[in-house]
Amino acid sequence: MPSFTLTDAVRDHWLDNFSISASDLGLPSSVPWSVTKRTLRGGRRDGVDLIQLNNGALSVAIVPTRGMSFWRGEYQGHFVGWKSPVTDGPVHPSLVNLQNAGGLGWLEGYDEMLVRCGLENNGAPYTEVVKGADGTERHITHGLHGKIGYIPAHFVAVHVNPQPPYEITIEGHVDEAKLFHTQVRMVTKITTVPGSNKLHVRDEFINLKEAPSEMQVLYHWNFGPPYLEEGSRFVAPMKTVLPRDPRGAEGIGHFDVYGAPEPGYAEQVYYFELHGEGAEGKTLAMLRDRKGNRGVLLRFSTSQLRGFTLWKNTSGLKEGYVTGLEPATNFPNARPFEKARGRVVAIPPGGSHVTETTLELIEGAEAVAKVEAEIKGLQAKGAPTIHPKPVEPFAPQV
């Protein structure tokens, strides 16, 4: 399989620019796919590496400098992602202080279609108070959504299958590792078939320690218009539904329907257990537009990603009119809460935890209806339990 290493920092390998296409490789070029890589200049994006993966129908901008996040995409002319208040991104991690604003610095660069949250923690900031060596108290603030989205990949490669269906894979390695702490390497492989409406994200989290390592990961997939609009719906085979907090409880009666843009809207968050198929718990979750003509679909397994969070943020169009579909190893509560409830992954020495998610862009009423039917099939496993308030063991009761 032709492979091209773009970055291998440890082996001192680096390409300033890179470009490859079907015809470059002598492969059938009826679908004009391409992969290009360049370094952005100026402003807060100065020095950020960007890989444009275009399969001929679906394109996505992958950001090695920001932990292999997906900045934004396009499918058949539609924008895929959201319009963040951060308008000059992708922002270089060196310009974001994650400790700003009491651990909310993460938001200063938040503008992606997909950003992973973790690996030490995800969810809202929380503070631990520890005794220092000198006997005084020290506050440790764990910032919003952790660090993995702000760590540059030290290895980046492109692989192309020379046989049909000619899959294109972008591989990236991101280490979250330091002395005395977690030592986990994420090896992500982002794969797409030329001309398809799909993107497959396989992440392997490898424990580099000889002792166990713990980790959490949440996939913060974010979508705005044209998938999100007044009357858009969230559709999934739900086993359990609850609001994260009192603000979410206010909207529990219509948690799966979206409102119009509303300047000043305060976010509402819901936690879910989903029904899944088979031992793996294969499941799916979709955001579709009002009329059911278009949708974004995520496929994943509850055995790999057991928690699911829905983030509704239908504020003004310029303030981030967006919803997050967030499969995760856990619920984004403070880590000690999750740990006590067994929702922190322990990776044994030499072992790894694998997650797989497929993004599908759905076009047309028929295609949307087909997905809805599939979801309905899974929903037959049991009607959802809908809790009007936060409830254990999923969320702190308040």
Candidate residues 28, 43, 162, 348; the one interacting with a second copy per rule CB under 8 A? 43
Counting Cβ atoms within 10 Å, is residue 161 exposed (0-12), middle (13-18) or buried (19+)?
middle
Measured between its terminal Cα atoms, the distance across the chain in Å is 55
- Strands 385-386 and 268-274 turn out to be unpaired
CB 57 within 8 A of CB 76: yes
97 binds a second copy (CB under 8 A): yes
Residue 14 in the binding site for a second copy (CB under 8 A): yes
Task: Give 88 or 280: the residue with its C-beta nearer to a second copy.
Answer: 88
Closest to a second copy by CB, 1 vs 10, is 10
Q: Which of 17, 26, 77, 211 binds a second copy (CB under 8 A)?
A: 211
Of these, 31, 95, 257, 344, which contacts a second copy (CB under 8 A)? 95
- CA 143 to chain centroid, in Å, comes to 17
Least separation in angstroms between CB 356 and a second copy:
25
Of 99-128, which residues contact a second copy (CB under 8 A)? 99-104, 107-108, 110, 123-128
Q: Which of 2, 3, 13, 377 binds a second copy (CB under 8 A)?
A: 13
92 lies in the binding site for a second copy (CB under 8 A): yes
Q: Which of 137, 253, 278, 383 touches a second copy (CB under 8 A)?
A: 137
Candidate ranges 26-34, 142-150, 276-284, 369-377; the one touching a second copy (CB under 8 A): 142-150
Site residues for a second copy, window 259-298 (CB under 8 A)?
261, 263-264, 267
Supply the minimum distance, in Å, between the C-beta of residue 36 and a second copy: 13
Tell me which amino acid residue 344 is. V
Distance CA 69, CA 87 (A): 16
**Among candidates 28, 133, 22, 114, which has minimal Cα distance to 73?**
114
Q: How far is the CB of 132 from a second copy (least distance, A)?
A: 5
Residues numbered 319-358 forming contacts with a second copy, rule: CB under 8 A:
319-320, 333-334, 336-337, 349
Among 31, 177, 252, 257, binds a second copy (CB under 8 A): 177
What's the min distance (Å) between Cβ of 91 and a second copy?
Answer: 10
- Nearest Cα neighbor of 288 from 201, 189, 362 is 362
**How far apart are alpha carbons 279 and 277 in whole angstroms?**
7
Least Å distance between CB 8 and a second copy? 7
Q: In whole angstroms, what is the distance from residue 268 CA to residue 249 CA?
A: 8
Burial 62-98 (b: 16+ CB within 10 A, else e): bbbbbbbbbbbbbbeeebbbbbbebeebbbbbeebeb
Q: How many residues of this chain interact with a second copy, rule: CB under 8 A?
A: 91
Q: How far apart are CA 252 and CA 348, in angstroms?
A: 39
Residue 396's CB: how many other CB atoms inside 10 A?
12
Least distance to a second copy, CB of residue 213, Å:
10
Judged by beta carbon, residue 37 or residue 200, the one nearer a second copy is 37
Cβ closest to a second copy, residue 5 vs residue 358? 5
Q: How far is the CB of 121 from a second copy (least distance, A)?
A: 11
Nearest one of 68, 62, 73, 2 to 37, comparing CA atoms: 62
Q: Which residues contact 126 (CB under 8 A, 6 or more apart)?
A: 141, 142, 334, 335, 336
- Output 26 or 264, the one with its CB closest to a second copy: 264
Minimum distance of a second copy from residue 87's CB (angstroms):
6
Beta carbon nearer to a second copy, 267 or 356? 267
Residue 311, both tokens: 């983030």
Question: What residue type is 212 in one-letter code?
Answer: P
Residue 152 makes contact with a second copy by CB under 8 A: yes
CB of 19 to a second copy, least distance (A): 16
Amino acid at 178: K
Is 247 a binder of a second copy (CB under 8 A)?
Answer: no
| Position among 133, 279, 373, 383 found at the interface with a second copy (CB under 8 A) | 133
